[in-house]
Structures are given as structure tokens and as C-alpha cells.
Structure 1
Amino acid sequence: MKKYIVTALAVVSSVCAIAGEKPTSGVMFDASKGVAGSVSMPNGKIVNYTAYTKLYYVTNVEDSTYQYMNVFVPDGADQSTPIFMPNYVGGYMAAKPQSVNAGDASGRALAEGYVVAIPGVRGRNSVVTNADGESVYTGRAPKALLDLKAAVRYLRHFDKEMPGDAEKIITNGTSAGGAMSALLGATGNNPVYEEYLKEMGAANERDDIFAAVCFCPITDLDHADAAYEWLYGCTNNVTRHLSDEQAEVSKELASQYPAYLNSLNLKKADGTLLTSDNYLDYLKELLMKSAQEAKDYGATIPDSIGFAFSGMPQFIAPVNGGMRGDGRPALRPERSAKSQGEYITDLDLERYLNYVVSMTPLKTPPAFDSKGVAGNNASGENEEFGDENGSSVNFTDYSLQKSTGNEDAQVDSRIKTAVKLMNPMNFISAPNTTVAQHWYIRHGAIDRDTAFPVPINLATKLQNEGKDVNFKLAWNRPHSGDYALNEMFEWIKSLLDKP
């Protein structure tokens, strides 16, 4: 036992010693550098693995704290084993490469027998000091996405040398990390990223993926402010308290959203065109389906939050299925479940939205591009689109005009390009792009970190393009990820079992 520990430490120490060094002859992988390890799962199962750490996925390493990957290969894995690639991006901030965690999807994936690849990712807060002693921000948009694309290319480059099937990469992320997972799924091989990746020294390989798992993706940022006010404006005079200036901003933003929504030309599964006139009815259907499924599995649905019940269905009730949610409403039901009736037949959407707001207060308008508007400070998204000097910038024309008082102000081309590159909605139907075929998208039914239309539009556009999409507004879930893992990994297994 002592001999094994000394050997393992020797390998790790040698790796750590080159943490700040840059590969000089292309990305590298040495199969002899693996270190044995194990993780104990919550059910007591011990999963043994071989770890390959400090795998730099580009040759021009700008930030050695983040631009590498750790790969964990469970015993029994071979070249045909799928690769689960989670990222730990949150708030568009940097994320260091991690070890597998028994408490989240990475540990569960390892226990399921999948190779787990965890890349580090630069973010809006990652900084290095240059030769002149100046701080340089290394991770402003679209750097995080580029890092993840480079990691995918690395896995493909060493597909024959490393266990795991690079044609079966399944990404996973939550919040801004959910957006990153969505971007990886939506932008595969699009040539607009190629020059950036060449400059980084990424492997000359494809960067499309097999499947994307996206929990509460914070995306479509250039339209997210308008979506937020269009949906939640009905709460302004009830549970949301705004200044006169904020109320005016809310009204103006809300008025912008219908035109964008209509421009998407989204369709329901039955072919019905979704417009600003019928969209809220579509949202009601999705929320009713979520609540019905939870009710079928024993959840208590309060009358007080807007649902109507009947002993007989007034529409075709969802097929029973899915996983029991462990979240419970904060409000007590006014009547017993028996007197409510088995079926949810309607929803007062405005009442329900006020319930959501009562659980977690809304962001003040604008929710995302807030810098200098209506007395708001800069948001994380304002930093995300800043430059290497650490600036925070407005990234929509509306907020720039409001913050400067110049009605003709326009966001400059650099920022507009970064915003475009960070929105998966721009690429799902783009030419010369390999969009992932399989998608698992979850957004909590009480998650107000972005408006419901943002993930709904993403899922619906993918469905309209013929992709396999498993989408749900998870009942009574706040902003969170890596939940209902039994359901999630059953979905993954169902993909892999297909011929």
C-alpha cells in the first residue's frame, strides 16, 4: 500500500511541476501517466478508475490555471465507452478542472461506467499578469466556449490512444454552464470559430458532440431582458416593487419581445405556429403537464397558486411517467387532494407567475444588460462581454442607449460578434454546422433566473429542426442542476441502446 501511494504521488508531483509550462509540439497524451484512484458513491459502491490529469488541450496556453482537462477512466472502459463531459461554469465565471464528485452527475456517470472528462474553462474573472506586470482578463466571451470546443477536439485527437468513444461525447452543465453545453451542442464545426481555435493551438479535429444535457441554460442573452419583462411584467403591481424609472424600462423592454418571438417561426409538435398571441397558452400547457406529472406521483399542488382541478379530464392528461420530484410547495393546499380531483384542467398564469416571484424575488429591469440603466450596477453578463482590460460593457443597443442617454448609440462590432457567438439560437439552423442530435433540457418551474421562454424557445427550435429533445419544466424546482439523475441517466442509456 505504501509503495502505491509513493508511486501515485510521484506521478502527480511531476505533472504539477509543469502546470505553468506550455506544450511546444502539439497537444500531447501519454497513456503511461495514468494514476489509479477510486470514489465511494452514496449507495456504498466503490468505483475504481485511472485518472489522467493536466491534459492541456491547446498548445498556446494563455491561462495555465484553467486550460487543461482531467479524464477519469473507470475500470472496464474501452474505446467504445461513451464520454461524459461536464463543465462547472457558473455565472460565466472561470471553472477549474475538478475531480469526479460522488454527489453530482460526474460521479454518477463514472459509476454508470462512462469515461468522465472534466475540462477547465476560462471565464469573465480569469486573470493573468503579463510581462509588463499588467492584469489581463483571459476569459471574456467567447473564450469559455472556445476552451470547451478545444477540449472536444483534444478527445477526438487522441480517440485511439485514450479509452472512450469521442463519437459519443455527452456534455452537461447548469446555468451559464447549461448555456455552454447548449452552445457545444448547437455550434459543432461551424467555421466562424475556426480562426479562434487555430490561434489557440487547438487540435485540427471536429468539435461536434453526440448529446447535450442543459440544466436551466442562461442563454439568448441579447433577448433575455425583453423576455423577462414580457413574461413577468404582470407582477409589477402585485409582488414586484419598481421605481417609476424601472417600471418604464420594464414596459419598454416588454414591448420589444413579441416581434422577436414572432420572428422565430416556432411551431408546436402539432404544427401550430407559435406567436406572441398564443405563446402564453403554450407555456400554460407545459406548466400544467409538469404539475400533473408531479401530482400523479404524489406531490401536493396548492389551489392557491392558480391551478384548477376536476374529477374528469377537460383535456388529454399527460401519460403518467417520469421521476418523483422532491421539492414541495411552500403554501398549504386550501382543499384536500381528493376534493381537488385527479386532473389539472386549467391554470391562471398570472397568479402562478406571482407565486414564482413570491418564492424568489425578480431581478430588477434590465435583468441582464443592467450596466448604468435605471440605477443598476453592472451584471456578470456585462463583464462577460467586456475586454481583456477588465471592462464591463452594455451588449444590447437598448441598454447602451439608456445608459448613455444617446438614442442613436449602437454596440460596437466586437461586442456584437461576441454576443452572436454566444447564442445557440443563431446556429441551430445554420449551414455548415453539425448540431447534436440528442438534447436533455431542464428548467425549474419556479426558476426565475431567466424567463421561461428562453429554454422553451431553445427546446422548440431544436424540435422543429428534427432533433431528439427531452424537455421539461421540472415541477417546483428553483435554479439548480444535476437533479433527478435516475431519469437523466435512463435517458442517456436509452440513446446508447439504440442501433
Structure 2
Amino acid sequence: MTDLKAAVRTLRLNSKRIAGDTNRVFTFGHSGGAQSALMGATGDSKKYTTYLKTIGAPMATTSGKSTSDAVAGAMAWCPITSLDTANEAYEWNMGQYSNSGTRKQGTWTKALSNDMATSYAQYINKLGLKDADGKTLTLKKSTNGIYTSGSYATYLKKEVEQSLNNFLKDTTFPYKATSNEGPSGAAAQTGTTTGKMPSGSKPSGTAKSGSQPSGGAPSGGTTSASSTSGKTYKTATAYIKALNKNGKWITYNAKKNTATITSMKAFVKHCKTASKDVGAFDGLTRQQTENKLFATSGSSANHFDSTISKLLTANHAKYAKLKNYKASYAKAYQSDLKKTNAQGKSIQSRMNLYNPLYYLTSYYDGYNTSKVAKYWRIRTGIDQTDTALTVETNLALTLKQNPQVKNVNFATVWGQGHTEAERTGNYETNFIKWVNKSLK
């Protein structure tokens, strides 16, 4: 992030020597969409100053005028951000419906998963997200799942249905499917469209395991993503029938060419099965890539999730009665969260640097402390199991509420995974068109 910010400041320092308007910088990234989103949310934030000075970024011109790293727009494909709640979001959106691996009934990690899902619901109820009508989105306790009722749950269900209906609208049948992670442009308007299939259209593929926590806790579950390469669906009805092969969860109206789903649970079961262990980003043995982001002197990887730490401490007695629990887990989290880096910054302060919502919504202390990009375009493959659907959704919702933002173009793309997901066309062409349209 500091390298990107330094690059933008350097461009502006040399604005008279290069072509183009350095006041109209746009960022973009796939998976690196997280960095793009952060660039859009954290413009000129003073929380990065120490790090920028450390790497020698140009903070001012020769005349003493401050340089700026704020950007005009941000394009983010699959932005995996908001690490302060990403683990809990994963368990609420996906993990609670799994009963294998680290989420197998009777294991202490399943109990932790359920508690994390509950914590996420409590977070959502404080976050203050609002729909297009200005109504606050919340979650309610439910008999069928962990906080699976309420306006926020309904909003997500409608988002899934919108994604499917966009696909039906965009696609010309016969439709020839490629693999779930194939090239983008799933629904180009030709007679025999080539694109991606929702992973639920065929039985699940090979199981995908995560790293196994020490102490014998079972490893991760399976992913529902599977290849449907080469199969052609003559009609939308045939396509929906294939999705319902292992149990009906989609109702299709052929006259209107629209569809509805029975529940988020059904969608997750068929298209978005949890593929990571409990502690999807902050692994119980610090095994996840994200743990390395919070390295300190003498520690190549650290825990960073304060919610998990609190749950381990508060529920020690409950977890200790279940299989494979060790008290050392709680101690490890507590110890890591007290560490500081070479600049003297805490794990929590570094966490804030990787959370765009920290700067976008009044729930966090960082609200109104940065220059937020005016223009945003966010795309994510709805089938990706790398993160919860809530991550991109919450980002889009907070942006729409932020007074500094002029336009938010957001879509979840049916049948695509962790890729440069687009409803139609080529992702590069679509990006360029969006930039040009934003600047008119």
C-alpha cells in the first residue's frame, strides 16, 4: 500500500514532466482489488505517514507544498478486505452451513465457528448499513441457522437472485459452459455463448483442504467449484434444471425469464461451500497468508483477530470440554495482539490500514479522516469461496452512504469465481469504458 501511495505522490511531483492529468488517477486490481479499494478509501490518510516517510516517499514539493496520494476512482475485482471481521463473516455466510473438517459437529472449532457467526451478526447490527430506501439493515435470531433472518439477510438473498437474473438476461442460449474459473466475459451476446457455469450445476469436484491446526483439529471442508467445461445448455430451462439436479433450490419463471432461490443456505450449499478452515484468514496456528501481513521482529506471522481472541478467552470452559482444544490457542492470540512493529504500531492500528470501512463509515474512528475516491466499480464472482459475499457487499453499501462518493457501480457475477468477473464483454475494455464515462 505504501508503495502505491508513494507512486501516486511521485507522479504528482513530476506532473509537469509527464503526459496526462495527475488529478485523475484511477487504480485497478484483481485480488489486488483489495489494494485498489484501499487506495480509493484512504487518500491522504495521516495513518500512513510514518510508513511513507520510512520508504522515502515524496511528502512535499521543493516549495513545501504537500503531495497527495488521493485518487479519483477505484476498480476492484474480488477485493478481500475488512480483515477485522473477515473471519467472522466467513463463518456466518458459509461456515455455519458446513459439517465437515474443522466444522464437524462435536469439535471445539465448530463451536468456535458458531460463536464467530453470532459475533458477526452483532457487528452487522451495530454497523449501520442502509439499503437504497434508507432503511437500516440488521440481522435477527432465527430457528433455522445463526441469525439468518432480518433485513440484511433478505438483502443478501436478493443480491444472489439479482446476480442469477442478470445472467439469464445477459445470456443467449444455447449456452456453452467453460470451467468455473475460465476466461471472463461469461455471457457475451452470441448464439453459442462461451463462459462460466455456477459451480452447483454439477456434483462437487475434488475436495480442497486447508492447513490442519495443531492439536489434531480437522482440516477444512470441500469447495463446490467444479468444471462444466464443454457442456451446452440449449435453453434457460435446461440450465436451471441442471442447477436443481441435486435438489430443487431455484424456481424459474420461463415467461418472465426470471428466477428466485429458496434460501441463502441453499445457495451456499450448491455454489459457495466453505473451502477454508475455521480462522479462514487468521489461522489457529498462524498458517494463513494474511497472518504474514502482521509480521513483527522475530515473528514471521502473527494473529490479528481480536474477536477470536476474546471468544477463546470467554468460552475457554466450553471449548475445553470438546475434542482437541488447547489453552495455548488463547494465549497465542493474546500474546500476538500485544506486539508492535518496527515503527511502534500495534496490530490493531495496522489492521485499520487494511480495512476500507474504517475510513468510510461512522462506526469506525477513521471516518472522515481521508479523501475518498468519487468513482467506484466493484465486481466479484459470486461463486468464489476465498471470502464471504458480505465483504464486497458491505464495501458497496458503505460507499453508497458516504457523502464523498459520487457513483458506485457494483455487481456480483453469476457462475464466476475468484477472477476478473464481468457480466459481459472483456474486463479490460469494460474498465476503460467505465473510466471514460466517469470523467465525462
- What is the TM-score normalised by the length of structure 1? 0.60
Q: For residue 236 of structure 1, what is the amino acid of its counterpart?
A: S
Change (3 A) 1:245 1:490: same
The whole-number CA distance in structure 2 between the counterparts of 1:371 and 1:237 is 18
- From 151, 161, 165, the equivalent of 2:17 is 161
The counterpart of 2:290, out of the listed 373, 381, 385, is 381
Q: In structure 2, what is the equivalent of residue 109 of structure 1? A: none
In the superposition, relative to structure 1, how do residues 432 and 351 fare at CA in structure 2: closer, same or farther (>3 Å)? closer
CA distance in 2, matches of 1:393, 1:297: 45
Residues 214 and 442, structure 1, Cα contact 8 Å, conserved in 2: yes
Taking a change above 3 Å as real, the CA distance of residues 442 and 323 of structure 1, as seen in their structure-2 partners, is farther
Could you tell me which residue of structure 2 aligns to residue 282 of structure 1?
155
Given the alignment, which residue of 340, 351, 363 partners 2:276?
Answer: 363
Question: Could you tell me which residue of structure 1 aligns to residue 358 of structure 2?
Answer: 426
Alignment correspondent of 1:195: 50
Offset of residue 299 of structure 1: 6.2
Q: Is the 8 A contact 1:444 1:475 kept in 2?
A: yes
Which AA in structure 2 matches 1:346? Answer: T
> What is the alpha-carbon distance in structure 2 between the residues aligned to residue 495 and residue 212 of structure 1?
11
Equivalent in 423, 431, 434 of residue 488 of structure 1:
431
- Report the identity percentage: 31
Measure, in 1, the Cα distance between the counterparts of 2:300 and 2:174: 46
Q: Does 1:442 align with 2:379?
A: yes
Structure scoring higher RCO (CA < 8 A, sep ≥ 6) equals 2
Q: Displacement, 1:149?
A: 0.6
1:221 aligns to what SS in structure 2?
Answer: coil
In structure 2, runs of 5+ residues without a counterpart are 61-66, 140-149, 176-186, 203-232, 241-251, 313-327, 341-345, 362-366
Q: CA distance change for structure 1 residues 327 and 248 in 2, over 3 Å: closer, same or farther?
A: same
* Counterpart among 132, 135, 140 of residue 272 in structure 1: 135
Q: Which residue of 1 aligns with 2:267?
A: 352
Aligned to 1:395: 304
Q: Measure how far apart 1:199 and its partner are.
A: 3.0
The match for 2:181 is none
Distance 2:99 2:329 in 1: 28
- The aligned residue for residue 395 of structure 2 is 458
In structure 2, distance between residues paired with 1:155 and 1:267: 37
Alignment correspondent of 1:216: 78
RMSD: 2.8
* 2:265 maps to amino acid: E
User: Number of aligned pairs?
Assistant: 327
**TM (normalized to structure 2)?**
0.68
Give the match's secondary structure for 2:384: coil
The answer to whether 1:326 aligns with 2:195 is yes
Residue matched to 2:416: 477
275-284 or 324-333: bigger deviation: 324-333
Secondary structure of 2:158's match? Answer: helix
Q: Distance in 1 between matches of 2:296 and 2:368?
A: 29
Structure-2 residue corresponding to 1:30: none
Provide the C-alpha distance between the structure 2 equivalents of 1:443 and 1:220, rounded to a whole number of angstroms. Answer: 15
Label 1:407 to 1:162 Cα distance change in 2 as closer, same or farther (>3 A). closer
Pair 197,239 (structure 1): closer, same or farther in 2 beyond 3 Å: closer
Checking the alignment, whether the CA contact within 8 Å between 1:301 and 1:329 is kept in structure 2 is no
CA contact (8 A) 2:164 2:259 kept: no
| 2:40 maps to which of 166, 185, 188 | 185
> What are the Cα deviations for residues 337-377 of structure 1, in whole angstroms up to 9, with x where unaligned?
7984134352122111111245xx521101111132xxxx5
Change (3 A) 1:165 1:352: same
Larger Rg: 1
Shift in CA distance, 340/209, structure 1 to aligned 2, threshold 3 Å: same
1:149 corresponds to 2:5: yes
Does the C-alpha gap of structure 1 residues 285 and 299 become closer, same or farther in structure 2, counting only changes over 3 Å? farther
Does the 8 Å contact 2:303/2:333 carry over to 1?
no
Amino acid paired to 2:400: Q
2:196, 2:156 → 1: CA distance? 21
Verify the 8 A CA contact 2:304 2:333 in the aligned structure 1: no
Q: Report the CA distance between 1:446 and its aligned residue.
A: 0.4
CA contact (8 A) 1:382 1:394 kept: yes
Distance 1:298 1:280 in 2: 28
- 1:380-416, CA deviations, whole angstroms, 9 ceiling, x for partnerless residues? 1111111244521110124446453349937226211
Distance 1:452 1:281, change over 3 A: same
SS in structure 2 opposite 1:206? coil
Q: Equivalent residue for 1:115?
A: none
Q: Deviations over 1:441-466 (max 9, x none)?
A: 11111011110111100111000114
The secondary structure found in structure 2 opposite 1:168 is coil
Residues 301-357 of structure 1, C-alpha deviations (whole Å, 9 max, x = no match): 99xxxxxxxxxxxxxxxxxxx966821235278944798413435212211111124
The structural deviation recorded for 1:213 is 0.6
The answer to whether the 8 Å contact 2:72/2:373 transfers is yes
Q: Matches of 2:153 and 2:410 in 1, distance apart?
A: 17
| Distance (whole Å) between structure 2 residues aligned to residue 369 and residue 462 of structure 1 | 26
User: In structure 2, what is the equivalent of residue 293 of structure 1?
Assistant: 166
The amino acid that maps onto 1:488 is: F
Answer yes or no: is the 8 Å Cα contact 2:198–2:383 preserved in 1.
Answer: no
Is contact 1:369-1:381 (8 Å) kept?
yes
Structure 1 letter corresponding to 2:434: W
Q: CA deviation at 1:171?
A: 0.5
Amino acid at match of 1:192: K
1:289, 1:357 → 2: CA distance? 16
Indicate how the Cα distance of structure 1 residues 396 and 336 shifts in structure 2: closer, same or farther if over 3 A, else same.
closer
Equivalent pair of 1:463/1:469 in contact (CA under 8 Å): yes
1:5 aligns with: none
User: Within 1, Cα distance between the matches of 2:284 and 2:7?
Assistant: 33
User: What is the CA deviation profile of residues 256-296 of structure 1, one whole-angstrom value per residue up to 9, with x for unaligned ones?
Assistant: 00121122101111212111221121111111111111101
Alpha-carbon separation, structure 2, partners of 1:404 and 1:335: 50
Deviations 1:112-140 (A, max 9, x none): xxxxxxxxxxxxxxxxxxxxxxxxxxxxx
1:251 corresponds in structure 2 to: 114
